[in-house]
Amino acid sequence: MAPAPARFINPIPNPSRYQKYNGVTLESLCEAAYHGNMEKLELLLKSGNADEIFNGDVNMHLTDVNALHMAAMAGQEGAVKLLLDAQADPHVRCVVSEGKDPQSGETAKDKAGKFKHQNIVTLLKSAEEKTPPGWYQADGIGNNRKLYAKPVEQSAPKPTDGGKKEEAKPAPKTAPKAAPKAASQEKSEPSLPVALLFPGQGSQYVKMLDGVKDVPEVKEMLSKANSILGYDLLDMCLKGPEEKLAETKYCQPAMFVGGLAGVCKLKSQNAAASERPRCMAGLSLGEYTALCAAGVLSFEDGLRLVKLRGEAMQEAAQVGKQAMLSVAGLDQPVLEQCCLEAEKKAGSGSVCRIANALFPKGFSCAGTEGAVNHLKELAEKKGALQAKLLKTGGAFHTSLMQPAQEKLEKALQEALPKMNPPKCDVYMNVTGESLPAGTNPKIILELLQKQLTSPVLWSSSVQKMIKDGITDFYECGPQKQLKAMMKRIDNKVWNKTQSIEV
């Protein structure tokens, strides 16, 4: 019997691996692979210390491509060899756009052939023949139900029985007392093909919560929030001023409470949808709201994390000049190339990357101010329908948020012992894939540790929900940001999306 395939988590032996979370991002790995920076790759994959080694999955997609794809398309033979040594899976395909067959996505060998790097084509062809498919499906997308449903153990993984499916752990019977019972499900009542969606920063407005402030559950949350935050959150939401409410450190707690208040409102309108959703997801900050609503975090622990997250992100945004740009009308590969050109034009130390993939040909990009300004010019020359600078606090979901991520890391580790497995599937920003109900919270922690410095794959998440059979969507929270995006993602599903505004 053939041995079970190993997990593709960077297997080159190194005593420094996994000693601690060090903040080294997938973006760093992909950039080194694309530029053929072998010295950097050696540090990240092989000879690094605890502060410099990459501890993540070498096969994870950064956008629609991963590190092996990028090395292959750039003709970096040495980088390809080193990544294969790290068990990069040559079978993994690029993510394709909505409506296309996933198996039509290009492999690293296809990328190399497209750019006429014949030596690399030969190398990857041999690797494909020698390497059995592992934790990745035939279409090249991570098989998360197989990868994530099994709890992570500290010891070496035990041999399996030759491919027999693992059963996800059952959800706990009771939710944290302070969290709305959004995902509570009686054993006799199956889940519904419903998704609860939670918006992120940018949907706030003065007078939000006015219509739900007297709902008993919302009143209780607001009372607890005042104690945790040290200020009157409801007063700020109702009276502003708008500029203060928009500040990251105030906006994020307000949106967190607003999303949960939306669940309370939905409960009064459609109890079944609020109590038996099949899945949840949140955009950026909204991911924390989703995890609380799914029973992973208590209201108090979730709000404490969000408070710290907002403060740390606002502080990180004040280091140097940062900017964000909304871009619509360009294909992702074209925009990625524009980002790389903008970084080169802006010079050493510049950053310009896709921060949010929101809908087909709709993105927000972020980085250092000079590079983002260059990106605006480049995008307009390429024919972008929109290239608009955003009023935002910083270059969120890029490497410039590394200081904030490091501060959040300690708080997440402290919260882990009190975290519960989710009671429904949760689609995560970093992967665009679902974590099944019952997933070990350690897996959730690993993804949250990457969220601030990784792009948000919102469009992929929603497309996957639709593919997985979700038919009804409820946006819980202020305004209609996510419903507006849904119209671009799938116009038919837009008609089945309701905004539960607060």
* CA R_g for the chain: 22
DSSP 10: -
Contact, 147 vs 439, CB < 8 A?
no
What's CA 141's distance to the chain center, in Å?
15
In angstroms, the CA 25 to CA 447 distance is 12
Per-residue CA distances from 365 to 111, 342, 358, 386, 402 (Å): 25, 11, 11, 12, 16
* Catalytic residue check, 397: yes
Identify how many contiguous H helices and E strands the chain contains and give both numbers. 21, 11
Q: Tell the burial category of 13 from Cβ atoms under 10 Å away from its Cβ (0-12, 13-18, 19+).
A: exposed
Q: CA 94, 96, 100, 101: dihedral to nearest 10 degrees?
A: 30
Task: State both tokens at 362.
Answer: 């709709």
Per-residue exposure over 169-191, b if at least 16 CB sit within 10 Å of its own CB, e if not: eebeeebbebbbbbbbbeeeeeb
Q: Which helix (H) or strand (E) holds 27?
A: helix 26-35
Q: Which helix (H) or strand (E) holds 198?
A: strand 192-198
Task: State both tokens at 252.
Answer: 């994020």
Query: Residue type at 488?
Result: R
In angstroms, the CA 415 to CA 402 distance is 20
Residue 302: closest CA among 255, 262, 266 = 255
Query: Residue type at 377?
Result: E
Name the catalytic one among 397, 399, 434, 459.
397
Name the catalytic one among 203, 274, 284, 399.
284
* Catalytic residue check, 284: yes
Contact, 144 vs 60, CB < 8 A?
no
DSSP states along 134-193: -SB-TTSSB-HHHHTSSPP-SSPPPP-SSSPPPPPPPPPSS--TTS--SS---TTSPPEE
Catalytic residues: 284, 397
